[in-house]
Amino acid sequence: MTAVVGLVTLFTAWFFRNPARHIPEGDNLIVSPGDGRVLTVVQEQEPRYLKERAVRVSIFLNPLNVHINRTPCAGKVSAIGHFPGKFMVASRAGATLENEQTAVLIETEDGHRVLCVQVAGYVARRIICWLTEGERVARGERYGLIQFGSRMDLYLPVTTHLKVRPGDHVCGGESVIGVFA
């Protein structure tokens, strides 16, 4: 029994690791909000915050990935919303609209609007967001976490020059997702 408790304790400590990251420098870069595998890159209508067409980059964070979430760009947090929902497997397409989620809208100095959505999964039942509306954030800054497997949906302007495609593995705060046009 002691061994089981020890293993659970070690896994939990390892799961909540919060490694330092080397945030890339450069104009107009957008970095990954989380560690994981890019599931989808698709252009679609975002009806809640952007209310326009955007490119959605979905990143699946499995239980072995770091689950600290990072801001993809510098700017001002203009809106935060929480939506209760289901807890389907986060890699499923329907999770984007049906699962429990917290959305953060960031507006850059140049007027670009980027939406980060933390999506809970089958195992992940708790989303934590440390930001407040009106707060200024830096690119790659830690802003929250999703516990035990999840997904990040990142909505970008359709003019963004993307640097990722489905199947790519990304590192939160370090991997460049795209460049604002």
Reduced to 3 states (helix: H, G, I; strand: E, B; else coil), residue 147 is coil
Q: Catalytic: 32?
A: no
- The beta strands (E) that lie in the chain are given as 29-31, 36-46, 52-61, 68-70, 75-83, 101-107, 113-120, 127-129, 136-137, 142-146, 150-156, 161-162, 169-170, 176-179
Report how far Cα 154 is from the mean position of its chain's Cα atoms.
6
Tokens (6 digits) for 61: 């964070």
Residues with Cβ within 8 Å of residue 38, at least 6 apart in sequence: 57, 58, 59, 164, 165, 166, 167, 168, 169, 170
* Residue of 32, 91, 150, 175 with catalytic role: 150
Reduced to 3 states (helix: H, G, I; strand: E, B; else coil), residue 14 is helix
Indicate the burial class of 84 (C-beta count within 10 angstroms; 0-12, 13-18, 19 or more).
exposed
Query: Among all residues, which ones are annotated catalytic?
Result: 150
